[in-house]
C-alpha cells in the first residue's frame, strides 16, 4: 500500500511508519515537526516565521492587535504548494482534525483537494479535538487535562488551544472531516473513552513504539535514585506538573542523601532523551488515564514512570496496580508516599522496570501496531 501520514505528535506517525515499512509498505510523512520537538519528517511544511525568534514575536503582535496569524497563513501557503505531489495514496491518515494547524475554513478547502486525489481518509484521536474537549468539559470522568480550567476559570487564557475546538469554525472542521473520513482511531484510553459513543469510531490501537530502536537498560540503584521531571511550559498546567514540583520539593528535603532530582524546561526531544537516559524514575503527567509517548518510550527503556495508569487502563490490559507504571494523581501527599516507597524499596524499581519493558513489547510493539492499522484500513 501507498500511505500518507499527515501531521506528527510525539513520534506517533514516525513509529507507525517504521512498522509499516518493515511490513513492506510505502509511507510518506508530511508534517510541521510538532513544534519545539523538531521531529524529522519526509516533507516539512513548518513555518519559517515560527522558527525565527523576531518574526515569531512580530506575529504575536499581529495576532494580538489585528487577529491575523501569519504562521497559519504561511502553513496554508506552504501546504497548498505541496498538494500537487500528494496524490495517488491508498490511505491518508490525519494526526488530528486540525492536522494542518491553519484556519478551519482554509483547512477544509485544502483537505477537499487532498481527499479528491487520494482513496481513503482516516483520522486519529490522539490529542485535543472537538469530541474529546466537549467530553471533558462535561466532566464525564473524574479528571482530565481540562480539570485545572474547570476548577479555575481565570485560567481560560492558558486553555485557548483546547477551547478553540468548541467554537463554530472548528465544529465545522470536525463535521467536515467526520463526513469525509472512513472513521476515527484512538491511540490510548484518554481518547478511547470520549470516542466510545461516536458512530464513526473504529477502536483503540495502542501507540506504536519502535522497540528495535529503544534498548532496555537495567537500572542500577546502588547509589542515589535519579528522578527526572522534564517540563513543557505550554502544557504544564494541563499535565498537573505543579503536583510533581511540590512532591519533589518535599522529597528533596526529606531524602537529600538518597535522591538526585533534575528538572528541565522546554527541551528539544533529542536533548530531553539524553537527560532522561540517566533517570530511574520519570515524572510524566497527572491528568491522564493512559500513557502518552514520553511515558511509553521511557517504559520501553526500563524507567519507572509516574503517569496515567488508572483503573480503566488496568482493566483494559488486565494488569495489577504499581506493577508496570505508577498512577499519578493530583495529590501531593499521595505522590510523596509513592516516591518514598520506591526510594526506600529500590528492588521495586527494578521489578517495575522489567515489567514495563515486557508490557511495551507485548502491547505497543510498532510492527504489531502497524498490522492493526492495516487491518482497520483494509476492512
All structural domains of the chain: 2-208+366-378 (3.40.50), 225-363 (3.40.50.2000)
- The reported pLDDT for the residue numbered 47 is 75
Within the chain, residue ranges assigned H as helices are: 12-22, 48-51, 53-66, 70-82, 104-116, 130-137, 147-151, 160-163, 168-180, 189-195, 241-254, 269-276, 293-301, 311-317, 332-344, 346-363, 366-378
- CA–CA distances in Å: residue 248 to residues 226, 336, 339: 12, 8, 9
Per residue in 35-93, pLDDT tens?
Answer: 444 567 889 887 778 777 787 787 787 777 778 788 888 888 889 999 999 999 999 99
Q: Which of 343, 178, 318, 145 is CA-nearest to residue 250?
A: 343
Q: Which residue has the cell 488496568?
A: 314
3-state helix, strand, coil in the chain (%, to 5): 50, 15, 35
* DSSP reduced 3-state for 304: strand
Residues of the chain with pLDDT under 50: 34-37
- The reported pLDDT for the residue numbered 246 is 98
- The reported pLDDT for the residue numbered 121 is 98
- The reported pLDDT for the residue numbered 36 is 47
Helices and strands (H, E) in the chain, number of each type: 17, 12
- The reported pLDDT for the residue numbered 367 is 98
pTM for the model: 0.91
Amino acid at each position: 500500500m501507498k500511505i500518507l501520514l499527515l501531521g506528527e505528535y510525539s513520534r506517533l506517525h514516525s513509529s507507525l511508519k517504521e512498522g509499516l515499512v518493515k511490513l513492506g509498505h510505502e509511507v510518506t510523512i508530511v508534517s510541521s515537526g510538532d513544534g519545539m520537538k523538531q521531529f524529522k519528517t519526509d516533507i516539512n511544511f513548518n513555518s519559517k516565521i515560527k522558527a525565527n525568534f523576531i518574526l515569531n514575536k512580530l506575529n504575536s503582535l499581529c495576532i494580538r492587535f489585528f487577529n491575523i496569524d501569519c504562521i497559519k497563513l504561511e502553513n496554508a501557503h506552504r501546504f497548498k504548494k505541496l498538494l500537487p505531489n500528494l496524490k495517488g495514496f491508498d490511505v491518508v491518515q490525519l494526526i488530528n482534525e486540525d492536522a494542518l494547524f491553519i484556519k478551519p475554513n482554509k483547512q477544509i478547502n485544502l483537505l477537499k483537494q487532498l481527499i479528491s486525489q487520494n482513496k481513503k481518509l482516516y483520522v486519529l484521536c490522539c490529542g485535543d479535538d472537538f469530541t474529546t474537549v466537549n467530553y471533558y468539559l462535561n466532566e464525564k470522568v473524574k479528571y482530565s487535562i481540562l480539570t485545572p480550567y474547570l476548577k479555575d476559570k481565570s485560567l481560560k487564557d492558558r486553555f485557548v488551544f483546547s477551547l478553540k475546538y468548541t467554537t463554530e469554525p472548528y465544529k465545522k472542521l470536525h463535521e467536515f472531516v467526520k463526513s469525509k473520513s472512513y472513521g476515527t482511531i484512538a491511540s490510548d484510553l484518554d481518547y478511547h473513552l470520549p470516542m466510545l459513543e461516536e458512530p464513526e469510531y473504529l477502536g483503540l490501537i495502542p501507540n506504536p513504539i519502535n522497540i528495535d530502536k529503544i534498548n532496555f537498560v537495567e537500572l542500577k540503584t546502588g547509589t542515589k535514585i535519579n528522578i527526572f521531571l522534564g517540563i513543557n511550559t505550554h502544557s504544564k498546567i494541563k499535565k498537573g506538573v505543579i503536583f510533581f514540583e511540590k512532591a519533589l520539593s518535599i522529597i528533596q528535603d526529606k531524602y537529600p542523601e538518597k535522591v538526585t532530582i533534575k528538572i528541565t524546561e522546554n527541551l528539544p526531544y533529542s536533548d530531553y532523551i539524553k537527560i532522561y537516559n540517566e533517570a530511574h524514575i520519570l515524572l510524566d503527567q497527572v491528568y491522564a488515564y493512559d500513557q502518552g509517548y514520553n511515558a511509553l518510550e521511557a517504559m520501553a527503556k526500563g524507567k519507572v514512570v509516574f503517569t496515567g495508569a488508572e483503573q480503566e487502563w488496568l482493566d483494559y490490559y488486565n494488569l495489577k496496580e504499581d506493577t508496570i507504571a505508577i498512577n499519578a494523581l493530583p495529590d501531593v501527599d499521595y505522590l510523596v508516599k509513592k516516591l518514598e516507597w520506591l526510594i526506600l524499596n529500590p528492588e521495586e524499581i527494578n521489578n517495575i522496570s522489567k515489567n514495563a519493558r515486557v508490557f511495551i513489547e507485548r502491547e505497543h510493539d510498532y510492527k504489531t501496531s502497524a498490522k492493526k492499522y492495516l487491518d482497520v484500513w483494509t476492512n
